[in-house]
Chain A
């Protein structure tokens, strides 16, 4: 067996590992095994690459890999669970950047005019998609990290400008293909970077995770394109797998939010907050705020309490305290369940991960469809740091930007307790009528502090 055949066989095994890894990741029981299998396939694909005929600069390669590893491992290990989404965005962006650089380097290496048209097309696809993914992920990272505002950024004629940039990229691309003006590739590259930024700016708040998923599938396609450039089967297979499954996953995620993908990308979600006129309403309308002792009594003498966790719980790292509260209530004979909205927190599944970390029993976590009928018989709905996912405007107000999003039927519970830091609207920037409801009690403060106080108050009862 020749070396070349060996490499091809290893690539085949790696490709099989990637497919099985994806399948494993779709089930809770097999997910971790799937990820490890993917990592195994990856290690094989990378290791066998060192055996490629004519490969030199081994020290440089190992050095660059060492630098990457030294940065990536601590970053991935130490990042807080709440910051996971932007970490994924960052790792996705650099992948797109690498794909663009590969296409670019291959293009610059070839003598001018020596590439066939389809080869130039491959290069351009790699550069354009890779750059869009890179700059788009940077902006998504900045939004989630709150380096810049999470609100949608819009300006007049936004879609028209984006369209013009898109057409310009296409036109220049065609020109590069049919002429020998290779320097035009530099302009295409800059335009693609600008397009990535412009594409992400109008996407706001809670929609960013769906956008990251879309950019993730873009990077997959960019990697596939660079695979075509380098004639590497393993790159084409893995890149295409991610491109296809990522597109499907993006659709699933947007459907979980009750909205279509074009709606998320182009509707500038949340930009109409001021239009719905909440600002002056806040100060004039009264809300009922209570002490931790009041809340403690309400909870301790209830029969059934439904906890609705949200991003505020995650930020305050209050998952262990909420579990303590739930245990305490259960020891008093109160039934406690958790209602998990599919997009509670900042990513689908975010809450499940946090609560699982606090060893909340799996059976107590109810998905939305399962949880909603329970609210009618609940004495207290305890909303900890969530807002948009319980906002009845999604059901009642066709003018609201979140209209149509499925929500948790918290308003059907006999009493509602909101634990919030302030009256500020949620991530989507929309006022919540429920806060002014007569059966709502507010407990202001950091979720963890509030919960700790409530726990102490219940113990004192």
Chain B
């Protein structure tokens, strides 16, 4: 990798950090746990890296490391999304006709008891 590549990666890193801070600036405390679980699933993207390691491995030790990494990363990504989805299932709009999507959204901002 030459110097230009590392600089462009650092650029991506810094910009992504700003986006990460900005995008979740306001979260009701009700959603803290699902959000944590959701971000947990997103860093499961490490599976892509694990696949690259295993897919280009030569020699037993490399293969073992890569294989274990793929298993662990798969646990992270699959488990993360499924658990988050289960948590969020509880927030789905309920059946009673009185509770329409609009009224739920109207109530939602009031849940922002979280810190400002």
Contact = CB atoms under 8 A, between A and B. Distances in A.
Interface of A: 14, 18-19, 21-23, 25-29, 31-32, 34-36, 38-39, 42, 45-46, 49-50, 52, 54-58, 60-61, 64-65, 67-69, 71-73, 75-77, 79, 84-85, 87-88, 90-92, 94-95, 97-99, 101-102, 104-106, 108-109, 118-119, 209, 212-213, 216-217, 219-220, 222-224, 226-249, 252-253, 255-256, 342, 347-350, 352-354, 356-357, 359, 361-363, 365, 367-370
B13 A42 contact: no
Contacts of A28: 28, 30-31, 91, 104, 108, 111
Interface of B: 1, 5-6, 9, 12-13, 16-21, 23-57, 61-63, 65-92, 94, 99, 101, 104-105, 107-108, 110-115
A353 to B, nearest CB: 5
Nearest to A216: B40
B42 A76 contact: no
B56 A101 contact: no
25 contacts: A35-B85, A46-B48, A46-B77, A55-B51, A60-B63, A64-B54, A68-B72, A77-B86, A88-B36, A91-B40, A91-B80, A92-B40, A97-B72, A105-B69, A108-B61, A212-B36, A230-B52, A245-B35, A248-B21, A249-B32, A249-B35, A252-B32, A348-B30, A349-B30, A367-B113
Contacts of A25: 24, 31, 34-35, 38-39
A217 B78 CA distance: 18
A94 B35 CA distance: 19
Main SS of chain B's interface residues? helix
A342 B115 CA distance: 10
Contacts of B49: 98-99, 102, 223, 226-227, 229-230, 232, 235
B82 A73 contact: yes
Contact of A226 (B5, B46, B78): B46
